[in-house]
Chain A
Amino acid sequence: MATPVKVYGPAMSTAVSRVLACLLEKNVDFQLIPVNMSKGEHKKPDFLKIQPFGQVPAFEDDGISLFESRAICRYICEKYADQGNKGLYGTNPLAKASIDQWLEAEGQSFSPPSSALVFQLAFAPRMKIKQDQVAIKQNEEKLSKVLDVYEKRLQETRFLAGEEFSLADLSHLPNAQYLVSATDRGELFTSRDNVGRWWDEISSRDSWKKVVDMQQKKTSA
């Protein structure tokens, strides 16, 4: 039996949960090692050795140490290609080209405004940080434009990269989950027919439900 891979960070972190979703899709055993961010553990020398930017997640498997959640996900799909969801990162170059394109679009276009909104609307209140209304408005406008593009795309295809669920869709789950379930801006997704349909479908996958469960079971920060 292979040694479980190690993921460092709290399940409630969007980037950590991205990796967890991928591991669950691929049926890869893992050990989730807590990092106490409220005590600044992620900025201390021991953690900085495995993630020099002081961010979560960090990841270890088979003698290598990685960070950047999407790079970790790509690795999991390549290393464990023959188990779990085999099509997650495509099974031929054309499929992979489309998945890579939409995974980059998520990282470059969807993530910046959605992460800003998740922070302002879901985390800032919990952390007793004052919300920046200008930032909220600007990022909501940016995210709306991105979701307009998604609305048109999802009219043509069932999922972002094509007719099968892929890493490109998975990558959106963490931020969208917070926006839909923990803020009052869920309508950004639910008011758009195709985006709403897509959100319902990807968020009801067993793997994602397990991640949400893990996030909700967390009792301390």
Chain B
Amino acid sequence: MAVRKVYGSLNSPATLKVLACLFEHDLDFEFVPVNLNAGEHKKKPFLSMNPFGQVPVYEDGGIKQFESRAIIRCMGFEYGKKGEELIYWDARKQAIVANWIDVEGHQFEPPALKLIFEMVIKPKNGLAPDHGVVAEAEAELGSVLDVYEARLAKSKYLGSDRYTIADVLHLPNLQSLLGTKAKKLIESRPRVRAWCSEILARPAWGKVLEMKRDKAQA
């Protein structure tokens, strides 16, 4: 019986963020797929685990949580001493990591998801992208990446001079964006491009991609 369970979808960036962290911490877990296409996340019993009807949900002993950033924070503090530490116990250093975790959530992800929806998800479903929405989201994401470019001149990674949660949270959406024309936003900014290549090359992220490939072949 698995100690840790992740209920989620390999198509959900939030789920992939949690999986990346589990691999970074070298933790065993059971992945329980939730069928988003069938609306499983909007029905019971899933709704009793997350009343907002969103993946992922995480269980670890007595802890049951939803919201990927909450899951990942707690995981970081619980397992930080073993394997890779993705957080700091020092309040001042962790404050800066927490600052950039919220930047990912409030500034980076909204335009990134809009672009991924228009340029990846809609075409998969036979729909054409809305060029007005794309242009607006590209401009928005471009402004955010300008801030990242300046930040990465002063700091090796977003939250500090080492890899932390603040970086991990970007992995799924960066991976998706690189498969679209919006990759120019990343590739035209040298420090962002270098940071992006480096974090996407982490073995833990490779294991997440392996899970996705295995599912595609199954």
Listed in ascending order, the chain A residues whose CB lies under 8 Å from chain B are 52-53, 62-64, 66-68, 70-72, 74-75, 78-79, 93-94, 96-98, 100-101, 103-105, 107-109, 146, 149, 152-153
Q: Which residues of B contact A78 (CB under 8 A)?
A: 91, 94-95
Determine whether B92 belongs to the interface, using a CB cutoff of 8 Å to chain A.
yes
Alpha-carbon distance between A100 and B105 when the two chains are bound, in angstroms: 14
Given contacts A66-B96, A153-B51, contact A104 B69 (CB under 8 A): yes
* Inter-chain contact B74/A100, CB cutoff 8 Å: yes
* B99 & A93 in contact (Cβ 8 Å cutoff): no
A74 to B63, Cβ gap below 8 A? no
Looking at the assembled complex, report how far the CB atom of B36 sits from the nearest CB atom of chain A, in whole angstroms. 17
Which B residues are in CB contact (< 8 Å) with A79? Answer: 91-92, 95
Residues of B within 8 A of A (CB): 51-52, 62-63, 65-67, 69-70, 73-74, 77-78, 91-92, 94-96, 98-99, 101-103, 105-107, 144, 147, 150-151
Where chain A touches its partner, the secondary structure class is helix
Q: Is the interface of B mostly helix, strand, loop or mixed?
A: helix
Contact A75 B95 (CB under 8 A): yes
B106 touches which of A72, A74, A107, A149 (Cβ 8 Å): A107
Q: What are 15 sample pairs from A and B whose C-beta atoms fall under 8 A apart?
A: A52-B151, A62-B92, A64-B95, A67-B99, A68-B98, A68-B103, A74-B95, A79-B91, A94-B62, A96-B77, A100-B67, A105-B52, A105-B67, A107-B105, A153-B51
Contact of B147 among A53, A100, A103, A109 (CB under 8 A): A53
Residues in A neighbouring B77, C-beta threshold 8 A: 93, 96
Q: CA of A64 to CA of B78 in the docked complex: distance in angstroms?
A: 25
| Known contacts A100-B74, A109-B52, A68 near B91 by CB under 8 Å | no
